[in-house]
Structure formats: structure tokens, C-alpha cells
Amino acid sequence: MTTVAIQDDIEGIFADARQLQEQAIERLEQDDIRDAAEKAWCATKRAADALILALTGQEPGPTGLTSDCLDDLVETGRATNSLQRRYYSCLSQLHGSCFYTGACNRHTERRIRETAAFIADAQSLSGA
């Protein structure tokens, strides 16, 4: 894949993440917190995938691989501990607790809204 094609893919994945974040806010405003949480998690995952593609040239795929790649980027100093912690917080709280088990709490809405900052920070780190 050419550098231009990879850049196009990165930009497309970040655009997808932003669209999912917008959908999460729409669902939140319609009082569907579980669906909002899942959409925010998906936005977080997509932004992490775009960052990984930008820094490694390869899109990771399933969540486990995204997690491993993000851990490697933090270990090598190419991603921040803050971004990594926020990623795992969304994975655990938005995807696992709220969406799957319905255990949404007083922090869920904040996490959903903060996904926009995660996307912006991942894009900034990616250089895109």
C-alpha cells in the first residue's frame, strides 16, 4: 500500500471515529445510555486503530490486537500513558460494564462525552 493510500485510510478511520462519537451523543440525548456507551467505545477503538496505522503502517483489527499494539506504542514512547489509560477505561466501563451488563454509573456520561478528546489526542499523536 502506498503512503498516500495509508494516509487516506488513516483519515477515513478518524472520520469514522468522529461520526461514531456524534452518534453516541445523539443516543445519549435520546436517553439510550447503553447504545451511546457502545458507540463511544467503537469511536475510541477506531481512533486507536487509526493511530496505530499511522505509527506502524498496519491496522490491528480485533480489540485484543489493538490493545497489544497500543501497549507496544506506549512502551516505545510513541503513545502516551494517558491515552492508554483512557482507552482501557472505555473498554472496561463503556463496552464491558455499561453496554454488556447494563452497569452504567454516574461517570458513564462523562466518559461518553470525553471520547471526542480521545479522538483529537490520538489524531494529534498520529501526525495526521
**CATH number assigned to the domain with residue range 3-126, chosen from the 4 options 1.20.120.330, 2.30.30.30, 3.50.50.60, 1.20.1740.10:** 1.20.120.330
C-alpha distance from residue 90 to each of 15, 41, 64, 73, 128 (Å):
19, 6, 14, 18, 23
Give per-residue pLDDT as tens, 50-107. Answer: 999 999 999 998 999 999 999 999 999 999 999 999 999 999 999 999 999 999 999 9
Domain boundaries, the chain: 3-126
The set of residues, in sequence order, having a beta carbon less than 8 Å from that of 15 and lying 6+ positions away, is none
Residue 122 has what pLDDT?
A: 98
pLDDT at position 2, please?
59
